Amino acid sequence: MGILKFLFITICILWLIKMIARVLLPIAFQKMMSKAQNQANQRYQQQHNQNPDGRIRVDYMPPKEKNRGDQAGDFVEYEEIKNP
């Protein structure tokens, strides 16, 4: 008798969880999507509402290379002479 009571209570609890999830999960997903959309709109507005003042802005400048000279040595031009 104890096993049947345990199974009945377990099945009832799982059924209740399933019903609650059917109601609450769509609401939670809708709130998350709304929040993400609002954040994306805010970022878009911040990027496109800046009034350009005619100056060029550089976000990244690569580091300048140091002139180290030729490490392999000087190049000497030569002419190949073929013997007949």
* Cα separation, 22 vs 30, whole angstroms: 13
How far is the C-alpha of 32 from the C-alpha of 16, rounded, in Å? 24
pLDDT tens figures, 20-71: 999 999 999 999 999 999 999 998 888 777 666 677 777 888 888 766 555 6
- C-alpha span between 9 and 15 (Å, rounded): 10
Give the pLDDT score at 26: 93
